[in-house]
A and B are shown apart, each in its own frame.
Chain A
Amino acid sequence: MHHLNTTEFTLVIGLGALVAGFLGALTGLGGGIVVTPLLTLAFGVNIRYAMGASLVSVIATSSGAAAAYVKEGISNIRAGMFLEIATTTGAVMGAGIALRLPTAVIAIVFGVVLLYSAFQSTRIHPELTPDNREPDRISALLRMDSTYPALDGVKSYRVHSVPAGFGVMFGAGILSGLLGIGSGALKVVAMDQVMRLPFKVSTTTSNFMIGVTAAASAGVYLRQGYVDPGLAMPVMLGVLLGALLGARVLPRTRSHVLRLVFSIAVTVLAIEMIYHGISGRL
């Protein structure tokens, strides 16, 4: 891709980012997880610049899509805000670690996280969260139990295992800062599987939390020179447009089909990242 001039490069990157943003919004996994492998593997961009552009685009994805979700009343704002304590502190620490790691190590960790995201998204489990369990003491104290609009009317749900979810969220924050991603996959795991929020609530609340988490490490990235305006411009605009389109399509899609399709693409990228990291080409 070295023969492209800046105009061509910008347009091609913008188009790729648009597709990434679209898929990221639909799956709740965020566009950033595809943007960095795309930039490094297909365009030979240094992983630190790719992470900077990706992290900025992650903020756009989250804020753009969240604007649509909050009006639908799907996300759980209280649970999201409480868990952001864990994700933001983790993100600042993760960004600090990223500065001290060689790019090959970052690439390998990135690949492993991608593999995990792909694996996680193929695990099919029923959308129905059993609500017959006892109310959880901590989530009651934090008033996290809520309702959401399902296909067959408004359903109420209870939130469980808050400390475990908080711990997983801290890990999600570290990975977010370390890799310049939104860590949507892990955030969804924390809420969907650990805390037992309904899947749609988990993905939208995750999307809504991602921007705040990313903003926490963006300051560190910016001061370390990871954010190049020439690269971040097409990435951010493309991802944003894709995410807005994705948010429009979301209410009409079946989440399990999407997760399967996305996971195949992510698995391929993961193997490439690990291979390139080990062979020292990133």
Chain B
Amino acid sequence: MTGIREGWDDKKIEEIVGNLLRAGVIIAASVVFAGGVLYLFRYGNTHPNFSIFRGEPSDMRSLAGIFHEAFILRPRGIIQFGLLLLIATPVARVAFSAVAFALEKDRLYVVITLIVLTVLLFSLLWARA
């Protein structure tokens, strides 16, 4: 379904992008689901209260904290780790697109894609609100 300009390469890349997105989402959702089951076993009979914003505790807000909480199998930590994987999925997609455009020797779009990737990494790793 692609035109003359977009040949076999684009088609192949689109297929890999599709698989990458699907894999990322399936893995992330599975981790979140597993954490969710544990979460309900542990907190299922408590009463949720989200009406007042307190902000999450620091171990749910930093990468190091989330990794640690997930590693020691705390339900909330596992869910949060799954959500991190989900956030990483589109970032991985952009990173892959940069490689794909490079393989196609499409320099203009390598540069465009790297700009997008830089903004994403900046916001995920460095941006201070």
Decide if A230 touches B83 in the complex (CB within 8 Å). Answer: no
Question: Quick one: CB contact mask for B41-79 with A, threshold 8 Å, 1 for yes?
Answer: 001111110111111110011100000000000011101
**A212 is an interface residue with CB less than 8 A from chain B:** yes
**A147 is an interface residue with CB less than 8 A from chain B:** yes
Q: A143-B5, A217-B123 are in contact. List 15 more A-B contacts (CB 8 A).
A: A45-B50, A56-B86, A67-B18, A70-B18, A73-B2, A78-B109, A81-B112, A85-B119, A146-B5, A147-B1, A147-B2, A211-B93, A222-B83, A233-B35, A240-B25
Interface stretch (choices A6-14, A111-119, A189-197): A6-14
Interface stretch (choices A17-25, A91-99, A254-262): A91-99
Please, how many residues of chain A have a CB less than 8 angstroms from a CB on the other chain?
76
**A237 is an interface residue with CB less than 8 A from chain B:** yes
Provide 15 A-B residue pairs closer than 8 Å at the C-beta atoms, listed in order of the A residue: A2-B47, A4-B47, A45-B51, A50-B50, A59-B86, A63-B89, A85-B119, A88-B119, A92-B123, A212-B90, A216-B120, A218-B124, A219-B124, A226-B56, A229-B60
Which of A4, A43, A49, A223 has most B Cβ within 10 Å?
A223
Decide if B24 touches A230 in the complex (CB within 8 Å). Answer: no
Given contacts A85-B112, A149-B1, contact A4 B18 (CB under 8 A): no
With A and B bound together, what is the CA distance between A111 and B47 in angstroms? 29
Q: Which residues of B contact A236 (CB under 8 A)?
A: 29, 32, 83, 86
Decide if B79 touches A230 in the complex (CB within 8 Å). Answer: yes
**A124 is an interface residue with CB less than 8 A from chain B:** no
Please, how many residues of chain B have a CB less than 8 angstroms from a CB on the other chain?
71
With A and B bound together, what is the CA distance between A50 and B15 in angstroms? 34
Decide if B25 touches A81 in the complex (CB within 8 Å). Answer: no
With A and B bound together, what is the CA distance between A78 and B40 in angstroms? 43
> Given B10, B25, B53, B108, which contacts A48 in the complex, CB threshold below 8 Å?
B53
Q: Which residue of chain A has its CB nearest to the CB of B128?
A: A223
Decide if B18 touches A5 in the complex (CB within 8 Å). Answer: no
| B interface residues with partner A (beta carbon < 8 Å) | 1-3, 5-6, 10-11, 14-15, 17-19, 21-22, 24-25, 28-29, 32-33, 35-36, 39-40, 43-48, 50-57, 60-62, 75-77, 79-80, 83-84, 86-91, 93-94, 97, 108-109, 112-113, 115-116, 119-120, 122-125, 127, 129
Which of A4, A50, A218 has most B Cβ within 10 Å?
A218
Interface of A is mostly: helix
Given contacts A9-B48, A88-B116, contact A233 B21 (CB under 8 A): no
Given contacts A45-B50, A67-B18, contact A6 B87 (CB under 8 A): no
With A and B bound together, what is the CA distance between A9 and B46 in angstroms? 10
Decide if B116 touches A229 in the complex (CB within 8 Å). Answer: no
In order of increasing CB-CB distance, the 6 nearest A-B pairs are: A225-B55, A229-B79, A225-B56, A219-B124, A73-B1, A211-B90
Q: Which residue of chain A has its CB nearest to the CB of B74?
A: A229
> Given B14, B48, B83, which contacts A6 in the complex, CB threshold below 8 Å?
B48
> Given B55, B108, B119, which contacts A224 in the complex, CB threshold below 8 Å?
B55
> Given A70, A212, A226, which contacts B94 in the complex, CB threshold below 8 Å?
A212
